C-alpha cells in the first residue's frame, strides 16, 4: 500500500510537469509567430492543457476521496491482498522466530476449579496463594515478593495430582500446558531438549500460565542412575529453562511424581521446585466429601456414611470408578436411583479388578491403625515437625538435618521402627506391615556404624532402640490405645 501511494504521487507530479512544459512551449510559439493565432486549434490546445493542469491539481488535492470512489480492478485487488498477506507473514515470522509448524504443544483452558475437587482442604490452602499471585501479581510485587518457580506434587497414583493442577489453572483462569514426562523422551538426542525449550517459550508468550509435567521422574531421574544421553540432555535443558525465568514472569511449573526419591538433587534445590506438596490416600472424611461430590444431582438410596467407612484404601480415582460402575449397574436394571445392590456390585468389580488397591477388612484396618498410632505416639513425643499421621502413610518425611547428632539419628530410627514395635506389644507377636520403614531404620543404623563411626554394631543399635520403644509403649499403653481408637474412627491423627 505504501509503494502504491508513492507511485501515485510520482504520476501526478509528472502530469503537472508535462502540462507546464507544453503550456510554456505554446506561449513561446505564440510570441515568435503571429500566424499561429489565426489557427483556432491553437486556442483549443491551450484550453485543453489548462484543463489538464487544473484536473491534476484537483486530483492531487482530493486523491484519497477519489481512490475510495473509483473501484479497484480484479488484478489490483489480488495484488493488494497478496501484498497484505505477505506483510502479515513477515510480521508473524518476526514475532515467532522459533515457531514449529509440526508442534503439538498447545495451551488449554481448564474449566475445573477447587469446588470440583473434594477432600483436599489442606492442599488447597497451600495452593491458594499461588492462584492469588497469578490473579493479583501487583499485590505481591510491590513488596518484591516472588512466586515459587516450581511446585512438586508427590503422592501415590490416583490421588488426584493432575486434577489438582488443572484446578489451580481453572481457579487462576490462565492457560494450562500439559505434558507427560514420557513425551520428552525421544530416540534422537536433542529432540527432548528442543521440546522443553518450545514448551517454556510458549508458556512465556501467554503468561501468566501454568506448565504441568506429569510423571516428571521420567526425565528428572538422578543423573547417576543409568546413562542416557537423551534423558540427561532433556533434564539439563529443563534445569536451564527453570533458571531462565524470574518469579515475576507469571509462569508456574507444576510437577507430579510418585517417586521423589529418584529425582535429581539439582531439580529439587531452592530456586527450582521451591514448594513440595505431599498427597496421601483420602481419609474417612475426605472419602465422604469425594463421594458426596460424585453423587451430586443423582438419586441415591443407600447409606453414604457406611460406604465411606467401607472404602478404606480407595483413592479418589477408585471412588470415581465405584460411582460410575454403580450407575452403569443402575442403568442395566432400568432403575432411576442408586441402591445398595448397585454399590455392592460396583465395589466387587473395583476391589477384584484393581489389585493395586489396598482394600482393608476390619481386622486389617485394626492392625494398620495400631501400627500408625504407635508411630504417632513416638513422633509426638519427639516434637517432630510432622503435623499429622494418616492410616495409609508409608514412610516419614523427616526434617533433614545437615549435621545430625547421634541422638537425632537414633530418633529417626525409632520413628521408623515404632509401628512394628507397637504392633508387637499390642498383638503379642511381630507383623510385617511396611518393610520400607524397617529398611530405612536399618540404613540409618548402618550409616552410624560405617559412615559416622558412632557405634560398633548396627544390630546392637536396632536391638537397643527396640527395647526402649517397648518400654515406652508398655508405660503409656492407655494413651496408645486412645490414639488407636482415634485413627480407627477418623483414619487420621492431627497434632
CATH code, 321: 1.10.8.60
Rounded to whole angstroms, the Cα distance separating 416 from 395 reads 7
72 plus 50 within the same structural domain: yes
Say if 385 falls within a structural domain. yes
Total count of domains within the chain: 4
103 belongs to a structural domain:
no
**26 plus 124 within the same structural domain:** no
Is position 305 within any domain? Answer: yes
What is the residue-wise DSSP string for 205-246?
HT-SEEEEEETTHHHHB-TTSS--HHHHHHHHHHHHHHHSS-
> Do residue 270 and residue 123 come from a single domain?
yes
Same domain, 223 and 118: yes
179 occurs within a structural domain: yes
What integer best gives the mean pLDDT of the chain? 79
Helix 435-446 with 458-475: angle, nearest 10 deg: 130
Q: Assign 91 a pLDDT band (cuts: 50, 70, 90).
A: very low
Q: Which helix (H) or strand (E) holds 21?
A: helix 2-32
- Beta carbons within 8 Å of 121's beta carbon, 6+ residues apart: none
Distance CA 156, CA 9 (A): 74
Q: Is residue 259 part of a domain?
A: yes
Same domain, 304 and 274: no
Which pLDDT band holds residue 32 (cuts at 50, 70, 90)? low
Domain contains 199: yes
Query: Considering all CA atoms of the chain, what is the largest pairwise distance in Å, rounded to the nearest integer?
Result: 144
Q: Which residue among 353, 387, 406 closes a domain?
A: 353
Give yes or no for residue 45 having a pLDDT over 80.
no
Domain final residue, candidates 259, 278, 297: 278
Q: What is the DSSP letter of 72?
A: P
Contact yes or no for 118/286 (Cβ under 8 A): yes
Task: Clarify whether residues 255 and 149 are in a common domain.
Answer: yes
Asked if the bond preceding 411 is cis, omega within 30° of 0, the reply is no
Residue with cell 499471585: 133
Q: Residue 173 belongs to what domain range?
A: 108-278
Burial class (CB in 10 A: 0-12, 13-18, 19+), 442: middle
42 in the same domain as 22: yes
Shared-domain flag, residues 230 and 137: yes
Residue 101 belongs to a domain? no
pLDDT tens for residues 166-211?
A: 899 899 888 999 988 878 876 556 788 888 999 999 998 888 889 9
In a domain, 122, yes or no: yes
b/e code 199-222 from CB counts within 10 Å (16+ = b)? bbbbbbeebbbbbbbbbbbbbbbe
Q: Answer with the one of 60, 95, 130 that is the final residue of a domain.
A: 95
- Separation between Cα atoms, residue 308 and residue 425, nearest integer Å: 30
Do 420 and 378 contact (CB within 8 A), yes or no? no
**Residue 70: HSE in the Cβ half-sphere, 13 Å Cα cutoff:** 10
Residues 298, 263, single domain; the answer is no
What is residue 98's predicted lDDT score, i.e. its pLDDT? 41
- Eight-state DSSP code of residue 152: E
Contact 254, 165 (CB under 8 A): yes
The reply to whether 195 and 260 lie within a common domain is: yes
> In terms of Cα–Cα distance, which of 261, 219, 259, 211 is closest to 239?
219
Please tell me the predicted confidence (pLDDT) of residue 414: 94
Grouping H, G, I as helix, E, B as strand and the rest as coil, residue 432 is coil
- Terminal-residue alpha carbon distance, the chain: 74
The answer to which of 138-147, 150-159, 297-306 has the lowest mean pLDDT is 138-147
Within this chain, do residues 23 and 55 fall inside the same structural domain, yes or no?
Answer: yes
CATH (domain of 460): 1.20.58.760
- In angstroms, rounded to a whole number, what is the distance separating the alpha carbons of residues 320 and 226? 38
CATH code of the domain in which 268 resides? 3.40.50.300
Identify whether residues 240 and 316 lie together within a single domain.
Answer: no
Chain segment 300-327, per-residue pLDDT in tens:
898 999 999 888 888 888 899 999 999 9
pLDDT of amino acid 403? 84
Q: How many CB atoms lie within 10 A of CB 476?
A: 14
Amino acid at each position: 500500500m505504501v509503494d502504491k501511494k508513492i507511485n501515485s504521487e510520482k504520476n501526478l507530479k509528472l502530469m503537472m510537469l508535462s502540462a507546464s512544459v507544453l503550456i510554456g512551449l505554446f506561449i513561446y510559439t505564440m510570441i515568435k509567430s503571429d500566424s499561429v493565432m489565426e489557427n483556432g486549434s491553437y486556442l483549443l490546445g491551450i484550453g485543453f492543457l489548462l484543463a489538464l493542469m487544473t484536473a491534476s491539481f484537483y486530483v492531487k488535492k482530493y486523491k484519497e476521496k477519489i481512490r475510495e470512489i473509483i473501484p479497484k480492478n480484479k488484478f489490483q485487488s489480488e495484488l493488494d491482498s497478496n501484498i497484505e498477506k505477505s506483510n502479515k507473514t513477515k510480521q508473524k515470522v518476526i514475532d515467532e522466530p522459533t515457531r514449529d509448524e509440526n508442534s503439538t504443544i498447545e495451551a488449554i483452558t481448564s474449566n475445573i476449579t477447587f469446588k470440583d475437587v473434594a477432600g483436599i482442604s489442606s492442599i488447597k490452602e497451600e495452593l491458594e496463594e499461588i492462584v492469588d499471585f497469578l490473579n493479583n501479581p501487583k499485590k505481591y510485587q510491590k513488596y518484591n515478593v516472588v512466586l515459587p518457580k516450581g511446585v512438586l506434587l508427590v503422592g501415590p497414583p490416583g490421588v488426584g495430582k493432575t486434577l489438582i493442577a488443572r484446578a489451580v489453572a481453572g481457579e487462576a483462569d490462565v492457560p494450562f500446558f500439559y505434558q507427560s514426562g514420557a513425551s520428552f523422551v525421544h530416540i534422537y538426542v536433542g529432540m527432548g531438549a528442543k521440546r522443553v525449550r518450545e514448551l517454556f517459550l510458549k508458556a512465556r508468550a501467554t503468561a501468566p500460565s501454568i506448565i504441568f509435567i506429569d510423571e516428571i521422574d521420567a526425565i528428572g531421574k538422578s543423573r547417576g542412575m543409568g546413562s542416557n544421553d537423551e534423558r540427561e540432555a532433556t533434564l539439563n535443558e529443563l534445569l536451564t529453562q527453570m533458571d531462565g525465568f524470574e518469579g515475576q514472569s507469571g509462569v508456574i511449573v507444576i510437577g507430579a511424581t510418585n517417586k521423589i526419591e529418584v529425582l535429581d538433587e539439582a531439580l529439587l534445590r531452592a530456586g527450582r521446585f521451591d514448594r513440595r506438596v505431599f498427597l496421601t490416600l483420602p481419609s474417612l472424611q475426605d472419602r465422604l466429601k469425594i463421594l458426596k461430590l460424585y453423587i451430586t444431582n443423582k438419586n441415591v438410596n443407600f447409606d453414604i456414611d457406611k460406604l465411606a467407612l467401607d472404602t478404606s484404601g480407595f483413592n479418589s480415582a477408585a471412588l470415581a470408578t465405584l460411582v460410575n460402575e454403580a450407575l452403569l449397574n443402575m442403568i442395566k436394571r432400568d432403575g432411576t436411583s442408586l441402591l445398595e445392590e448397585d454399590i455392592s456390585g460396583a465395589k466387587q468389580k473395583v476391589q477384584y479388578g484393581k489389585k493395586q488397591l489396598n482394600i482393608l477388612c476390619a481386622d486389617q484396618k485394626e492392625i494398620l491403625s495400631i501400627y500408625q498410632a504407635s508411630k504417632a505416639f513416638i513422633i509426638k513425643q519427639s516434637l517432630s515437625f510432622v503435623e499429622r499421621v494418616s492410616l495409609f502413610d508409608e514412610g516419614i518425611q523427616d526434617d533433614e538435618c545437615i549435621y545430625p547428632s547421634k541422638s537425632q539419628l537414633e530418633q529417626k530410627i525409632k520413628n521408623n521402627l515404632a509401628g512394628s514395635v507397637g504392633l508387637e506389644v499390642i498383638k503379642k507377636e511381630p507383623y510385617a506391615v511396611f518393610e520400607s520403614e524397617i529398611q530405612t531404620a536399618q540404613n540409618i543404623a548402618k550409616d552410624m556404624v560405617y559412615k559416622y563411626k558412632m557405634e560398633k554394631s548396627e544390630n546392637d543399635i536396632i536391638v537397643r532402640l527396640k527395647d526402649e520403644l517397648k518400654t515406652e509403649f508398655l508405660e503409656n499403653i492407655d494413651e496408645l490405645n486412645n490414639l488407636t481408637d482415634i485413627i480407627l474412627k477418623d483414619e487420621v491423627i492431627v497434632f
